[in-house]
Amino acid sequence: MKKSSELATDRTVRYVADSFTTLEGDGVPIRRAIPSRTIRLEDVDPMLLLDDFQAEADPDPDGPGFPRHPHRGFEIITYLLSGRGADVDDEGNVQKFEGGGLQKITAGAGMEHGGAPRERSDEPIRGLQIWINLAKKDKKLAPEYQVVSPNEIPEVKKDGVVARVLVGEGSPTRLHTPTLFLDVKMAAKKEFEWDIPEEFQGYIYLLEGEALFGPDGKLAKNTQMVILGDGERLKVRTSKLGVRFLLAAGQPHKEPIRWYGPFVD
């Protein structure tokens, strides 16, 4: 697979952890991978939060949702795997995005969003919300919004493996922290390799299926987290089942995290 170097050292796995279910917004059930009691934020710095949310097709406009709310001090990626979504920015503009596309928000010095009318969707809605911390020097940046359509996200394909580059080389998505985000699909009995900058750290979240990760072949299954260790070249192998996972890695800030609900100062 693309991005592998003969001189790269194999990326190890620190540990595998479970995600859990909780409620968010005004009662929307979600699966939360981080933060958790078993994953230390210093192990995944600069990543702060990963939520996996799902809803039925054509959602009830009067059902639980995400009312207007503030954020400060980090960046947000909302990546839709399927269905349609909408958001309302500070100025009341409705931003719409669809399965395979994403929205990026730089909360910076502070912004509010949410409360958009429900988008009609002909298929079930599933998405990921990801928070990436900003360095202290960037906490006061002016808020920014970006919507990236599915056809703008580059794909690398090879022998039963498809890697969508959500953030990284070739992607139009721009964050203020150096990061790499991939949405990877692998068929059964396939191998995947990708070099990650040695100084980056982060995680893998399994969206479906199972696979073996790292040089020791640690098994992880659907909705589990794989916390990345040292090294560069990530190796993944499937056996009888295929897998789909999110790879998230970035340059750690190594700064104190002062977290107050929707604010990270």
Strands 218-221 and 155-158: unpaired
Domain ranges within the chain, ordered by starting residue = 13-264
CATH of domain 13-264: 2.60.120.10
What is the pLDDT, as a whole number, of residue 60?
62
176-216 pLDDT per residue, tens: 999 999 999 999 999 999 999 999 999 999 999 999 999 99
240-259 pLDDT per residue, tens: 999 999 999 999 999 999 99
b/e burial code for range 220-245 (CB count within 10 A of at least 16 → b): beebbbbbbeebbbbbbbbeeebbbb
pLDDT at 120 over 90: no
Among left, alpha and beta (phi > 0; psi -120 to 50; other), residue 220 is beta
134-146 pLDDT per residue, tens: 999 999 999 999 9
pLDDT at 217 over 80: yes
H helix runs in the chain, sequence order: 41-44
Q: What is the pLDDT averaged over residues 57-65?
A: 61
Q: What is the pLDDT averaged over residues 64-84?
A: 87
What is the pLDDT, as a whole number, of residue 24?
80
- The DSSP output letter for 8 is P
3-class DSSP assignment, residue 113: strand
Q: What is the pLDDT averaged over residues 106-132?
A: 83
What is the pLDDT, as a whole number, of residue 92?
72
What is the pLDDT, as a whole number, of residue 128?
97
The residue with greater pLDDT, 166 or 24, is: 166
One-letter amino acid for residue 72 of the chain:
R
Q: What is the pLDDT averaged over residues 256-263?
A: 94
Q: What stretch of H or E contains 48?
A: strand 47-55
Res. 85 pLDDT band, cuts 50 70 90: confident
What is the pLDDT, as a whole number, of residue 63?
61
Q: What is the pLDDT averaged over residues 98-110?
A: 94
